[in-house]
Amino acid sequence: MSLPHHCNYVAGKPSEGRGRETLINPSTEEAIATTCAQSPLLEAVEHARNVAGPALRRLTFAQRAEKLKALIEVIVKHREALLDLSVRCGGNTRGDAKFDIDGGTATLQYFAALGASLGSGSYLAEHEPLQLARNPRWVGQHVWVPQDGVALHINAFNFPAWNLLEKAAVSLLSGVPVITKPASPGSSVAALMFDEFYRAGLLSDGSFQLVHGSVADELNVLGVNDSIAFTGSSRTASLLRRHEAICERGVRLNVEADSLNAVVLGPDVEESGETMRAFLRDVVREITQKAGQKCTAFRRILVPAALRSMVESELAAALDALNVGDPSAEGVKVGPLASGAQKKSVTEGLTALLAESKQCTKNRTFEKGYFVAPTLLSASASSTLVHEREVFGPVATVLGYSGNAEEAAVLIKRGRGSLQTSVYSDDSEWVDALFHQASAWQGRFYWGSEKVSEHAVQPGAVLASLNHGGPGRAGGGSELGGIEALKHSMQRVAVQGSRPLLQKLLGHAVLAPAVANSSSSGGNKESSSSEGARS
Ligand code: NAP
């Protein structure tokens, strides 16, 4: 029996594409589908540049927001099928599948609401006109206009829905046509979404195109006013940074790469208190959710020496108790890694880390499938590799430290820039000292404490209203963050001229609110993914 084939959607139509790559169910190692190996990027770029872009730029923010709402309706209608596919073929537990698909939907909802609130504008004005000379008629104004090109989105395998939708929401709302390229593993979810968008007639203008397969050899079709939003490994990011399209042709590049996120337990936290419970609960979830294949997952767990043996034994017992297996079976809490390549990379990384650490959790064996048991390691804070090597699976290392905030800050910084750091403490002076010394080393600083332990969104969740992206190793990029996100697909132009003429010229500029608050859904992967609380 022939396998289903995932189509590209270019210029509003499905196409088979060149070459074939077989996709594998990571739980059973059975072939499930084929996708094309080489993407039709040139054709997609030409359509976006010449046809879809000019039409999209003519729309107001509210009209673009209507496009996002139409996408949401399709996803909501086919949610069960998408969740089922994500579990059956993608190695996700149902909770992991919801985290991805509902998180993407919630982010679309956030930007649809933002677009509606921007109304009939199609540019963003940063401020009222500024008087620039003695004569009050000579003024200037900063205005953000959509890039006159295409947004190529290169996504990682771990969030095939959310990664795709959050990037698309922002570019489409800005007025820039999107070409989205999923990573091959897990691309079945992206493929089904696009099949349904197509059946619903939402792809006909070609402003939202899907290409499967490698784009590596075709990036020179991009130029000034085009952008690449990349999510993936530092290794690929560094290839892109050196690419001629970026270095010489003026293509804008945003990188969301890997990260050795730290979580720090404060010295004030008591063994049996609420803050300790929140810390242990969150660490177990961050190690195991999506089998640890999450850019925001904790990799380094900093624990004061006095609490270390208690923390290690509590975490190891909780991780060893979790049922690991095919997520379509009842009671499974942790699924497989996404691919054979991913399993090889995690196994090699784990072996390397074990040269400098001891394992606290039990070994398990699996007959087939790309499974790795949740693994807790324990190492000296002075070891090297734990601060350098990202093992993108259910693996994290406990590192002892004195409890001193300065020492914790030094250890955080050894990760060379992270997406997020989390601290758990009820001592505001201690957190203040840590924040003062380490805050510039990550894109997000999360403070868990007794007062919020019941209500807080989990630390690994990325919010549409807040920045995602971190310095250094994490890529130096920035995504999301409310209205600021739109500017990543726009050009800032300082417009100067006579006040009445500027008023006429910029009649379609809407004054941007400084920070747009969350909509009711919040664009929050966590709130939308918990059982019974989908957006
Ligand atoms: P990857 O190997 O770098 O691949 C990412 C994407 O880049 C895929 O779509 C891949 O396509 C494409 N790609 C590979 N080589 C390319 C090239 N030479 N030119 C252009 N595109 C190329 O990363 P991954 O293994 O999929 O993802 C895991 C990594 O992503 C982890 O390190 C994780 O930390 C990071 N990540 C970061 C974030 C974040 O927000 N910061 C989020 C999720 C994941 P093919 O599949 O066709 O090769």
Q: Which positions are annotated as active-site residues?
A: 256, 295
CA of 229 to the centre of ligand 1 (A): 11
3-state secondary structure of 366: coil
Q: What pLDDT is recorded for position 186?
A: 85
Residue nearest to atom 41 of ligand 1 (CA): 256
Question: From atom 9 of ligand 1, which residue's Cα is the shortest distance away?
Answer: 183
From 165, 231, 238, 346, the mutation candidate for ligand 1 (largest count of ligand atoms within 8 A of CB) is 231
Helix ranges (H only) for 175-232 are 187-199
Number of alpha carbons in the 13 Å side-chain half-sphere of residue 236: 19
Residue with CA nearest ligand 1 atom 22:
216
Let me know if 153 is exposed, middle or buried by CB neighbors in 10 A (0-12, 13-18, 19+). Answer: buried
Q: Which residues line ligand 1 (CB under 6 A)?
A: 154-158, 181, 183-184, 214-216, 231-233, 236, 239-240, 256-258, 295, 390, 392, 419, 475
Query: Average pLDDT per run of 10 along the chain, which is 535 residues long?
Result: 90 91 95 92 96 96 97 98 94 96 96 94 91 92 96 96 97 98 94 97 97 93 96 94 94 95 97 96 97 96 97 98 95 96 97 97 95 97 95 98 97 97 97 97 95 84 94 95 93 94 84 59 42 27
380 burial via Cβ count (<10 Å: 0-12, 13-18, 19+): exposed
| Cα(342) to centroid(ligand 1), Å | 12
Longest dimension (CA), the chain: 80
Ligand 1 site-directed mutation target among 34, 154, 159, 234, most atoms within 8 Å of CB:
154
Distance 220 CA to ligand 1 centre (A): 19
Q: Beta 375-379 vs 395-401: how paired, if at all?
A: parallel
Nearest to 464 by CA among 202, 102, 187: 102
Of ligand 1's listed atoms, the one at least distance from the Cα of 236 is 3
- Which residue matches tokens 């807080």? 456
Distance (Å, rounded) from C-alpha 532 to C-alpha 520?
15
Contact call for residues 525 and 297 (beta carbons, < 8 A): no
Shortest-distance Cα residue to atom 38 of ligand 1: 295
Ligand 1, residue 475: give the atom nearest the CA: 41
| The pTM of the whole model exceeds 0.85 | yes
- Can you tell me the distance from the alpha carbon of 236 to that of 130, in angstroms, rounded to the nearest whole number? 43
* Whole-number pLDDT of residue 516: 55
Query: In this predicted structure, what is the pLDDT of residue 222?
Result: 97
* Helix 61-77 and helix 162-174, axial crossing angle in degrees, nearest 10: 160
Do 265 and 279 touch, CB atoms closer than 8 A?
A: yes
Q: Whose CA is nearest to atom 43 of ligand 1?
A: 295
Tokens of 458: 């989990």
Distance 475 CA to ligand 1 centre (A): 12
The answer to whether 197 touches 139, Cβ cutoff 8 Å, is no
CB 147 within 8 A of CB 226: yes
Q: How far is the CA of 70 from the centre of ligand 1 (A)?
A: 28
Q: What SS3 class is residue 24? A: strand
Length of the chain: 535
The number of CA neighbours under 13 Å toward the Cβ of 377 is 25
Which residue has the least CA distance to atom 30 on ligand 1? 232
User: For the residues of 250-315, what is the DSSP string, one character each?
Assistant: --EEEEE-----EEEE-TT--TTSHHHHHHHHHHHHHHHGGGG--TTS--EEEEEGGGHHHHHHHH
Atom from ligand 1 closest to the CA of residue 214: 47
User: Which of 236, 243, 246, 254 to mutate for ligand 1's pocket (most ligand atoms within 8 Å of CB)?
Assistant: 236
Rg, the chain, Cα only:
24
State both tokens at 77: 């209608």
Q: 472: which residues sit within 8 A by CB, 6+ positions away?
A: 416, 417, 418, 441
CA-proximal residue: ligand 1, atom 47 (nearest): 214
pLDDT at 514: 59
DSSP string, 449-470: -GGGTTTPPPTT--BTTSEE--
Distance 109 CA to ligand 1 centre (A): 26
Nearest CA to ligand 1 atom 17: 216
Query: What spacing in Å lies between the alpha carbon of 391 and ligand 1's midpoint?
Result: 14
Strand 21-24 versus strand 31-35 pairing type: antiparallel
Find the 284 Cα to ligand 1 centroid distance in Å. 25
Please state, in angstroms and as integers, the Cα–Cα distance from residue 198 to each residue in 54, 164, 201, 261, 358, following that order. 21, 16, 5, 39, 51
Between CA 150 and CA 162 the distance in angstroms is 20
pLDDT at 517: 56
